[in-house]
Amino acid sequence: MKAAIDRAQKYIDEHAPKVREASMRQRYHFMGPCGWINDPNGLIYYKGQYHLFYQFNPYSAFWSQMYWGHAVSEDMLHWKQLPPALAPSESYDAHPQGGCFSGSAIEKDGRLYLVYTGAANLGKGLEQTQNIAVSSDGIHFEKYEGNPVVTAPEGVAIDSFRDPKVWEHNGRYYFVCAAQREGRAQALLYRSDDLLHWEFFNVLLESRGEWGYMWECPDFFQLGDKWVFLCSPMGAGERTTVYFVGDFDYGTGKFTYTSTGEVDWGLDLYAPQTFLDHQGRRLMFGWANEWEWMRYWKDWGPTFREGWCGSFSLPREISLGEDDMLIFSPIAELNQLRETPTLVNSMKIDPGRARSVKAGDGVAFELSFSLDLEASESSSVLLSLRKGAGRELTCIFDLEHAEVRIDRNNADGWGKGVSSSPLSLRGEPLLDVRVYSDQSSVELFVGNGTNVHSMNVFAPSTQNGIEIAARDGIAIVQDVRGYGMKSIPAA
Ligand code: FRU
């Protein structure tokens, strides 16, 4: 593996400088040094640093044979890229259309263990197996000689058995992974005493078809007195990343859920992974892209011309809200990036007379306000972002139909689609809205983080207007706060 990592690192050193100068690169969201990235993997706080691994093809800005990229950080804002942690090198993970697929990390006796999927042809076609790699310094990993540690059980499709998420409980180890049996999605639960020898425990949860045919990147964790299962379902239409909240029994290995929801309603959030940090926070990063609509358009966006593709969502903290709904909040550390604040206490917007709003340079910014639902009379309120040269990304707060939508059909001459989510207004007097915009993305948090939409926008920096408009009556917005967001130098 060392030779493959050294070769990749040489290529990265040669190509990262060009990507550092790229005009569409994100200014404060996580990106790889060059090439293609997808899922976040192996998130962990280990020996005083946050470690972020990711699905990585250093050699081109398209998906191909997968490596694990690796970066570390003290604050989840400034990242230092390290050499790839895993490279395809063995019979079980070295296929050109396979490699080291998604997985997770855990610390045991001071050492860092990665549990990942190897995708290769072992004689029966493309096959996915679960494997282990270990490191003592958190930088250099060795693959376990007993790999693969788990192969697909009888009846599970060998090319649909992947993405182990590992955790420890009372000195025992568990992982949940995605599987497909007879065309249906299952989350399989395994257990082990030493992280090396695993036994099948139970089907944690399964779909009867209503939740698609495969659950990529499952995640499972305790939150308060509840348990949460997250996954990215394939074949579930516009549902791209969902959660289930319920109860889990270590005696049977069964999860039963009582509520479900969407992790993100936008078009660009997939395969999120969570971890518990040293402050006890349940944190999540997601891949700011999505397979299905991208495939439909047969195009991954214009950034490939600059030698890169893919970035991550902002880290979000997950907490449990009313009725067992999940709340996703941008991490508090992000406030350190704020600069050039502007504050307007209250704005009255007359129908047909949009008002412009100031937040940084209109490209990399944070903007928040409260929509006064009692005083506003308009049936909908429109927030235009990245406006200029006849284009804009439009956020629509449709109060008549209790819906939030983001329309990007006219945002950048490339992306298409409208995302929408129902709004639970429940007689609240105010609707809180928070936007994080970066060079090539917008993340909208509405209703205290219960309604999140992530969307990519590949627009030039000159498209930087921000406006609020009311459709057919006045709208009142309060506490309008805008900040520029500091750029983070690529490392
Ligand atoms: C999700 C996914 C995973 C797989 C990885 C391969 O985006 O398809 O299921 O492990 O990407 O890169």
Q: Is there a domain that residue 491 lies in?
A: no
Q: What is the mean pLDDT of the chain?
A: 96
Is residue 214 scored above 80 in pLDDT?
A: yes
Instruction: Look at residue 491 in the predicted model and tell me its pLDDT.
Output: 74
**What's the token pair of residue 486?**
């500091």
Q: Are residues 348 and 318 in the same domain?
A: no
**Ligand 1 atom closest to residue 163's alpha carbon, by position in its atom list:** 10
**What's the token pair of residue 275?**
């971890």
Measured in Å, residue 102 CA sits from the centre of ligand 1 at: 6
CA distance 264 to 136: 36
Ligand 1, atom 8, lies closest to the CA of: 216
Q: Is there a domain that residue 490 lies in?
A: no
Q: Is there a domain that residue 193 lies in?
A: yes
Average of pLDDT values for 83-89? Answer: 98
Among candidates 291, 286, 289, which has minimal Cα distance to 273?
286
Among the three residues 299, 330, 361, which one is the final residue of a domain in this structure? 330
Structure confidence by residue, pLDDT tens digits, 126-185: 999 999 999 999 999 999 999 999 999 999 999 999 999 999 999 999 999 999 999 999
Q: Are residues 114 and 198 in the same domain?
A: yes
Q: Are 173 and 106 a contacting pair, CB within 8 Å?
A: yes
**Ligand 1 atom closest to residue 216's alpha carbon, by position in its atom list:** 9
Q: Are residues 275 and 410 in the same domain?
A: no
What is the tally of structural domains in the chain? 2
Is residue 202 exposed (0-12), middle (13-18) or buried (19+ Cβ within 10 Å)?
A: middle
Share of the chain above pLDDT 90, in %: 92
Q: Is there a domain that residue 381 lies in?
A: yes
Instruction: Compute the chain's Rg from CA coordinates.
Output: 22
Average of pLDDT values for 270-286? Answer: 98
Is residue 84 scored above 70 in pLDDT?
A: yes
Measured in Å, residue 240 CA sits from the centre of ligand 1 at: 13
Residue 193's CATH number? 2.115.10.20
pTM over 0.95? The answer is: yes
Among candidates 119, 24, 41, which has minimal Cα distance to 85?
41
Q: Which of 6, 39, 249, 324 is catalytic?
A: 39
Average of pLDDT values for 209-222? Answer: 96
Among the three residues 312, 330, 348, which one is the final residue of a domain in this structure? 330
Q: Are residues 427 and 343 in the same domain?
A: yes
Q: Are residues 124 and 271 in the same domain?
A: yes
Query: pLDDT category, 300, cuts 50, 70, 90?
Result: confident
Structure confidence by residue, pLDDT tens digits, 227-271: 999 999 999 988 899 999 999 999 999 999 999 999 999 999 999
364 lies in which domain range? 337-485
Residue 39 falls in the annotated catalytic set = yes
Instruction: Look at residue 301 in the predicted model and tell me its pLDDT.
Output: 84
Q: Are residues 20 and 126 in the same domain?
A: yes
Of 128, 162, 287, the residue with max ligand 1 atoms within 8 A of its CB, to mutate for a pocket test, comes to 162
**Least-confidence region, from 46-60, 223-237, 391-405, 420-434:** 420-434
Measured in Å, residue 378 CA sits from the centre of ligand 1 at: 43
Of 36, 63, 130, 216, the residue with max ligand 1 atoms within 8 A of its CB, to mutate for a pocket test, comes to 216
Q: Are residues 278 and 143 in the same domain?
A: yes
Residue 409's CATH number? 2.60.120.560
Measured in Å, residue 67 CA sits from the centre of ligand 1 at: 12
Ligand 1, atom 2, lies closest to the CA of: 216
Instruction: Look at residue 282 in the predicted model and tell me its pLDDT.
Output: 98
Measured in Å, residue 347 CA sits from the centre of ligand 1 at: 45
Instruction: Look at residue 298 in the predicted model and tell me its pLDDT.
Output: 61
Omega prior to 148 cis, within 30 of 0: yes
**Ligand 1 atom closest to residue 128's alpha carbon, by position in its atom list:** 10
Of 36, 39, 62, the residue with max ligand 1 atoms within 8 A of its CB, to mutate for a pocket test, comes to 39
Which strand (E) or helix (H) includes residue 491? none
Measured in Å, residue 73 CA sits from the centre of ligand 1 at: 24
**Ligand 1 atom closest to residue 287's alpha carbon, by position in its atom list:** 7
Share of the chain above pLDDT 70, in %: 99
b/e per residue 43-78 (b: at least 16 CB within 10 A): bbbbeeebbbbbbbbbbebebebbbbbbbbbeebbe
